Chains A and B, each alone.
Chain A
Amino acid sequence: MTALDAATKTRADSRNADRLIVAVPSKGRLQENAFAFFARAGLELQQGRGARDYRGVIAGLDNVEAAFLSASEITGRLARGEVHFGVTGEDLVREEISDVRQRVELLAPLGFGSANVVVAVPQAWIDVRDMADLADVAGGFRARHGRGLRVATKYVNTTRRFFAAHAISDYRIVESSGATEGAPAAGSADLIVDITTTGATLSANALKILDDGVILRSQANLVASLAAPWGEQAREAARIILSRIAAEEEARTTRELRTRLGEVTDKLLRKAEAKFGATLRERNGNGSVTFAAPANKVASLADWLIAHGAQTVTSGKLDYVFRADNELWGRLAARLDGD
């Protein structure tokens, strides 16, 4: 912890222990995306005096402090309970927190920062297509080479768990914090476990991903710390933030469909729900109905409605869908109250 961080923490502790601290990535695309994510939910992050200030607020919300930190720092602080909410990659959460379920709750994937943590071997290994092949090669490697396979990675724990699950034990991890994909060509490792978005860098380094070698499909997540001090005010601030996020998310992922049908039977409604996940929002005596449906089912639902006698079906985007019962907060509150 730097002196500045320490000072920040002490000040925060002494001034107001019961406030919600939201940790947000401090630079790059991750920060832009995180700002955009909160902004969509109507939560405007305001950084202090300059870009170098590591603290901020959320406009219009009392008892909330924003802390701008690196993504891996955010993960550690969530685990230690030094911040309540954080935006960080699931890859880092799974790698750096040993008992994920006890310490944090992954509240929602945020749709950005997508990347896969994968096992990649040299393309020349045409005999190795999946983890079972790799296990077989690992099993015979020491007898042939006098050493175990070497795996370059910064995902030490993730690799260990995944390899153990595939019963691979005779290998060594070569820790690598940068340019991991170059390790096999450089001769410092035989294969790698690394994060990749398109796989292009792997191909450029003559590596291929094993068929079942995707360890984790990661993306940025909104993560809550279960170890943080959850006072009354922090909980209330969390509830407000999550209800706005949930309202935006539901609006973004659903569409409202309006149409008029000759006859609206219960059977038809049940079918709409079963086939398309569509729920009835409103229905009038004159046969006009409003459905809420997943955005990706709109076209097929519209076709189906037309087949059932609708003349026109209109679909609209919504800004927010606020609900009295908020799934995100409900889940977190349950965890905080001991499940």
Chain B
Amino acid sequence: MTLANYRPTDPTRIEATLRHFVAEGFTRCEPGLLQPAGVFLDRLGEDFRGRLYLTSDGGDGELCLRPEYTIPVCLNYLASPDAGQPAALAYGGAIFRAGEGETLQAGLESFGRDDREAADAEILGVALDAAKEAGAATLKLRLGDAGLVKTFLDRLDLPPAWRRRFEIGHARGESPSKALKPPQRKENGVGAGVLAALEKVDAAGAKKLIEDLLSIAGISTVGGRSSGEIAERFLEQASLEDGAGVSAEKRALLEAFFEIEGSPDSASAKLRRLADSARLDLGFALDSFDTRSSFIAARGLALDSMTFSASFARRLDYYSGFVFEAWAANRPDQAPAIAGGRYDRLLRTLGAKSDIPAVGAAIWVDRLSGDTV
């Protein structure tokens, strides 16, 4: 990569995008270029380290060039007097990621609104309108709903260990049947004998037994996990290896659920049919889904040209509701030009006293036309 490729070329698109945001009532918020690296690694995973331009000023902790806007904007908002209050913020400028160099990104974050469905539709609508103002090509849209997925999994009532396995597999893009395959029994001594002893006692007794076992063996508990926690998971894993796993009926439901795809309205109808036939109460989540669809349609957006896909919401740890991506229709191979979603739990992990509703979208302005790299 030559040095010239590290710099974006044309500022007109981002200027047009920002003009539209401000006209829609969003206030500019521009966090600094230099950011503490730890917060990104914490929230986005250590793997993200490879994407950061890291540096240090000799003080505590590492610094990095701003790799994205959402977290810095959240931190600015939480440090402001408006923290906890509704706020509509817009940003636009350079972000820096190893391998991509300096690219331009503009975006929106909406905080503190309890009318979530309307806020979701507004963020999607304003982002799409701004993209159009900035000369975007025809964009294709894909929608998902992490909240709906969560509700579905709650109602399915999988044992916690299976739920966790499933969510990890799902985040990796594995099919339900793969994610739910029972782990192979490990031939490793400690298992069988201890398990036989544990099967005879209740949960509290099992915990005590494991604590005793560890202390007899002279193993001190180190490394942030309590013996209760270890005992609990030990039992859980033993039951995973032993048990019949998730019933065929639930596995079939999972398969059917994640195969659902179509326009938001047709997908909603399919989801209701699935919920009815399986007697799962998805009513509240689906009502919210339909309300959001109505708000999206009310903004004049062509709902029928969007594709909802139940399996699209993968990052259930980060996103909590509506998620969407848009990319230039002529470049299906390209990374999305717009991506966003609802992340109601993030602000609390960044220091807010309670969850604050939050939804946002980021636009990679250089990808809008579909003719760039």
Contact A160 to B223, CB < 8 A, known contacts A126-B210, A126-B230, A140-B164: no
Could you give, for residues 264-286 of chain B, a 1 whenever the CB lies within 8 Å of some chain A CB and a 0 otherwise?
00000000000000000000000
Task: Please tell me if the beta carbons of A191 and B237 are within 8 angstroms of each other in the complex.
Answer: no
Contact B42 A148 (CB under 8 A): yes
**Cβ-defined partner of B223 (8 Å) among A125, A132, A139, A163:** A125
Contact at B46–A160, with CB atoms within 8 Å? Answer: yes
The answer on a CB contact under 8 Å between B172 and A167 is yes
Partner of B224, one of A135, A145, A169: A145
Interface 1/0 per residue, B37-51 and A, CB below 8 Å: 010011001110110
Contact of A163 among B46, B161, B171 (CB under 8 A): B46
- Taking CB atoms, residues of chain B closer than 8 Å to A211 are 186, 188
Residues of B281-340 at the interface with A, using a CB-CB cut-off of 8 Å, are 317
Q: B42, B183, B222, B230 — which one has the most chain A CB atoms within 10 A of its CB?
A: B222
CA distance A185 to B220 in the complex (A): 9
Chain A, 121-139, CB within 8 A of any chain B CB: 121-127, 129-130, 132-133, 135-137, 139
Query: Contact at A163–B47, with CB atoms within 8 Å?
Result: yes
CA distance A45 to B225 in the complex (A): 52
Out of B45, B171, B186, B230, name the residue touching A125 (CB < 8 Å): B230
Q: Which of B47, B49, B167, B214 contacts A126 (CB 8 A)?
A: B214
Task: With A130-B186, A139-B167, A172-B41 as known contacts, state yes or no: A184 contacts B223, CB within 8 Å.
Answer: yes
Residues of chain B lying within 8 A (CB to CB) of residue A184:
222-224
Q: In the complex, what residues of B have CB within 8 A of residue A124's CB? A: 214, 219-223, 225, 227, 230
Given A135-B168, A167-B168, do A129 and B186 touch, yes or no (CB 8 Å)? yes
Contacts of A164 in B (CB 8 A): 47
The answer for the CA separation of A148 and B44 in the assembled complex, in Å, is 11
Taken together as a complex, chains A and B put the C-alpha atoms of A184 and B213 apart, in Å, by 20
Q: A171 touching B46 by the CB < 8 A rule?
A: yes
Residue B53 is within 8 A (CB to CB) of chain A in the complex: no
A206 at the interface (CB under 8 A from B): yes
Query: What 1/0 flags go to B125-151 for Cβ under 8 Å of A?
Result: 000000000000000000000000000
Residue B6 lies at the interface, judged by CB distance under 8 Å to chain A = no
Neighbouring A residues of B225 by C-beta, 8 Å: 122, 124-125, 137, 190
Q: Is chain A's interface secondary structure helix, strand, loop, or mixed overall?
A: mixed
**Shortest Cβ distance from residue A235 to the other chain B in the assembled complex, whole angstroms:** 30
* Complexed CA–CA distance, A151 and B224 (Å): 11
- The answer on a CB contact under 8 Å between B223 and A136 is no
Query: Which chain B residues border A127 with CB–CB below 8 Å?
Result: 230, 233-234, 237
| Contact assessment for A132 and B183 in the assembled complex, using a CB-CB cutoff below 8 Å | yes
Q: Are A142 and B317 in contact (CB under 8 A)?
A: yes
Cα distance A146–B219 in the bound complex, in angstroms: 25
Minimal Cβ-Cβ distance residue in B for A157? B50
Bound-state Cα–Cα, A2 to B339, Å: 48
Q: How far is the CA of A72 from the CA of B49 in the complex (A)?
A: 21
Q: Is B49's CB under 8 angstroms from A150's CB?
A: no
Assess the A133–B46 pair: CB atoms within 8 A.
no
Chain B residue with Cβ nearest A159: B46
Whether A96 is near chain B, meaning CB under 8 Å from some CB there, is no
For this complex, 26 residue pairs linking A to B, each with C-beta atoms less than 8 Å apart, are A121-B223, A124-B219, A124-B223, A126-B194, A126-B214, A126-B230, A127-B230, A127-B233, A127-B237, A129-B190, A135-B168, A136-B237, A144-B229, A147-B42, A148-B42, A148-B45, A157-B50, A159-B46, A160-B47, A160-B49, A163-B47, A169-B45, A169-B47, A172-B42, A172-B46, A173-B46
Q: Show the binding face of A for B, using Cβ within 8 Å.
A: 121-127, 129-130, 132-133, 135-137, 139-140, 142, 144-151, 156-157, 159-160, 163-164, 167, 169-173, 184-185, 187, 189-191, 206, 211
Task: Taking A123-B219, A124-B225, A185-B220 as given, write out 7 further A-B residue pairs in contact, using a Cβ cutoff of 8 Å, ordered by the A residue number.
Answer: A125-B230, A146-B349, A156-B49, A163-B46, A172-B46, A184-B222, A185-B222
